[in-house]
A = this chain, B = another copy of it.
Amino acid sequence: MARPDFTDALQPHPDANGAKMISKERQRSAIDIDELSTHLFGTTYLQRQQNVLNILKPERILSKDNQANLSRPDRYKLGLARGKRMRQLMDIHGWNEADLLMAEYLVDDLQPYHLHLSLFNSAMREQSSDAQRAYWIPKIESWEIIGAYAQTELGHGSNIRGVELQVTWDQTTKEFVLHISGGTMLPHGDGGELVSYGPLPFIVRVRDRRTHLPPSSIVVGDIGPKYGYAPIDNAYMLFNNHRIAHNCLLSRYASVDPDTGAYTKPANPTSVYGSLTRGRAVIVMSARLVLMRAVTVAVRYLSIRRQFRDRDSPQSEGPESSVLDYSTVQVRVLPLLAATFALHYSGEAMRELYERTRSTIALDGDRGQLAELHSTSAGLKSLATDLAANGIETCRRAMGGHGFGGGTGLVQLNADYLSKPTVEGDNWMITQQAARYLLNRVEDVGRSPEQESKSRTEANLREYQTRASTPPKITELSDKAIAEAFQWRASFLAFEAHRSHYVQKRSWNSMLIELYKLSRSYAQSMLVSNFYEAMQQNSLSSPHTAAVLRDLYRLFALSTMDTEAREFQKSGAVAGEVLDTLPEQILKLMQSIRPHAVRLVDAFALPDFLLDSALGRYDGTVYEDLFNRAHRLNPLNRVTFNPDYWSDEIVMGSKDGGQILAKQ
Query: Could you tell me if A312 and B10 are in contact, using CB atoms closer than 8 angstroms?
Result: no
Neighbour of A422 across the interface among B217, B311, B326, B397, CB < 8 A:
B397
Which residues of B sit under 8 angstroms from A367, Cβ to Cβ? none
Assuming the A-B contacts A6-B219, A219-B631, are A583 and B513 also in contact, with contact meaning beta carbons closer than 8 angstroms in the complex?
yes
Query: Could you tell me if B61 and A509 are in contact, using CB atoms closer than 8 angstroms?
Result: no
Apart from A15-B155, A158-B308, A566-B566, what 7 extra A-B contacts exist at CB < 8 Å?
A76-B636, A152-B401, A224-B405, A310-B509, A329-B428, A404-B418, A404-B422
Neighbour of A211 across the interface among B70, B400, B652, CB < 8 A:
B652
Which residues of B sit under 8 angstroms from A475, Cβ to Cβ? none
Instruction: Please encode chain A, from 71 to 100, with 1 for each CB lying within 8 Å of some chain B CB and 0 for all others.
Output: 111101110110110011000000000000
Closest B residue to A86 by CB, please name it: B645
Closest B residue to A576 by CB, please name it: B570
Copy tally for this chain in the complex stands at: 2
Distance between A612 CB and nearest chain B CB, rounded to angstroms: 12
Any chain B CB within 8 A of the CB of A648? yes
Query: Could you tell me if B71 and A222 are in contact, using CB atoms closer than 8 angstroms?
Result: no
Any chain B CB within 8 A of the CB of A363? no
Assuming the A-B contacts A513-B583, A587-B513, A630-B223, are A12 and B69 also in contact, with contact meaning beta carbons closer than 8 angstroms in the complex?
no
Binds B, one of A248-256, A550-558, A656-664: A656-664
Query: Could you tell me if B155 and A12 are in contact, using CB atoms closer than 8 angstroms?
Result: yes
Distance between A14 CB and nearest chain B CB, rounded to angstroms: 7
Query: Could you tell me if B157 and A401 are in contact, using CB atoms closer than 8 angstroms?
Result: yes
Binds B, one of A37-45, A188-196, A233-241: A233-241
Which residues of B sit under 8 angstroms from A78, Cβ to Cβ? 661, 664
Neighbour of A328 across the interface among B143, B219, B423, B428, CB < 8 A:
B428
Which residues of B sit under 8 angstroms from A170, Cβ to Cβ? none
* Complex interface residues of chain A between 385 and 426 (CB less than 8 A to chain B): 393, 396-397, 400-401, 403-406, 411, 415, 418-419, 421-423, 426
> Whole-angstrom distance between the alpha carbons of A512 and B587 in the complex?
11
> Whole-angstrom distance between the alpha carbons of A88 and B643 in the complex?
13
Neighbour of A627 across the interface among B61, B158, B236, B419, CB < 8 A:
B236
Distance between A428 CB and nearest chain B CB, rounded to angstroms: 5
> Whole-angstrom distance between the alpha carbons of A72 and B146 in the complex?
31
Closest B residue to A634 by CB, please name it: B224
Any chain B CB within 8 A of the CB of A635? yes
Neighbour of A227 across the interface among B307, B405, B566, CB < 8 A:
B405
> Whole-angstrom distance between the alpha carbons of A67 and B459 in the complex?
57
Distance between A162 CB and nearest chain B CB, rounded to angstroms: 6
Which residues of B sit under 8 angstroms from A180, Cβ to Cβ? 10
Any chain B CB within 8 A of the CB of A639? yes
Assuming the A-B contacts A15-B162, A219-B7, A320-B162, are A642 and B212 also in contact, with contact meaning beta carbons closer than 8 angstroms in the complex?
yes
Neighbour of A570 across the interface among B228, B329, B580, B639, CB < 8 A:
B580
Distance between A528 CB and nearest chain B CB, rounded to angstroms: 20
Any chain B CB within 8 A of the CB of A122? no
* Complex interface residues of chain A between 408 and 448 (CB less than 8 A to chain B): 411, 415, 418-419, 421-423, 426-429
